[in-house]
Amino acid sequence: MNCKQYIKVFSPASIANVGPGFDTFALALEGLGDTIEVFRVDGDTIEVIVEGEHSQHVPKNWKLNSVGGVIQYFKKKYGFKGGLKVKVVKGVPVGKGLGSSGASAAGIAYALTKIFNLKITDRELVRLAAEGERVVSGSAHPDNVSGSLFGGFVIVTPELNVLKLNPPEMEIVIGIPELKNQRNKTRKARQVIPKKIKLEHAVKNIGYASMVTAAVILNKPDLFGKNLLDYLAEPHRSESIPGYKELKKELMKNGAYGCAIAGAGPSIFTIGKNSGELREIIKRKFEEQNIKCKVMVTKPSLTGVKEIKG
């Protein structure tokens, strides 16, 4: 087997669910992501080093983070000989609903298949990356990792069949509030969702999800935004985001097409006519509650994980 000795990749952040598409939709984000370097080394030692602005929130024991989850599954499923040194520079905020663990998991999954020259299907690649999510959240949910792997607007089924579409041309305003008690946030956010839902709520989500998909195909940001509605997860997760309902109302009054929780939260995202004004509203509404909030304006990334040369 002709294997590489080194690879460096960039893996973008992502927004999962995208309103009504719980565990099904994901949207890759431009300009925000993790950089991962993988070195093959002598011996059989595995070392994972995490650096960067958000590294302090990642477990130091590599077997407890998403990178380690992927490595362990890769060894068991495909096997490899020799050691690895992995360096992760965390560019995605941890525990904020922007697919931080998914970005790392997607990046290492892609890097391992390339450095060991392993030819697998997209479905198998998603399965590999999703095992990193299992370590972090207790569930191998495939939405974030699919978005990071392939970029664009992604639809993924429980059977791990993936369809990538080019999203509408639009700016996305993201508010990232600094809230306390965010430890094991994704796992807790999944636990608050009831196991049984009302039929009328399921029907609503199916309708909205269908409209979001149509908006992507038709390249209509306004239709996309107007259908960012969710009756499954948002009613329960929004309770942990102070002032979310009031913020959403004000955004809608001031040119937003729609607003939703990014993944498991607490970040929120909105799209609309005037990104600058929407940005200021988000910042002001959180500051009124003495909550620090970073607000960024980005757009969908059309590419997923990519190798960085040099």
DSSP bridge pairs for 50? 88
- 201 contact partners, CB below 8 Å, separation of at least 6: 231, 232
**Rounded Cα distance, 46 and 41, in Å:** 9
Closest CA to 40 of 1, 89, 95: 1
**What type of residue is 38?**
V
| Residue recorded with tokens 């620090």 | 292
Q: Is 200 a catalytic residue?
A: no
| Catalytic residue of the set 24, 35, 113, 186 | 186
| Catalytic residue of the set 24, 35, 113, 133 | 133
How far is the CA of 54 from the CAs of 33, 91, 94, 282, in angstroms?
Answer: 11, 7, 6, 22
48 half-sphere exposure, CB direction, 13 A CA radius: 22
Q: Is 186 a catalytic residue?
A: yes
**Rounded Cα distance, 60 and 85, in Å:** 14
Name the residues annotated as catalytic.
133, 186
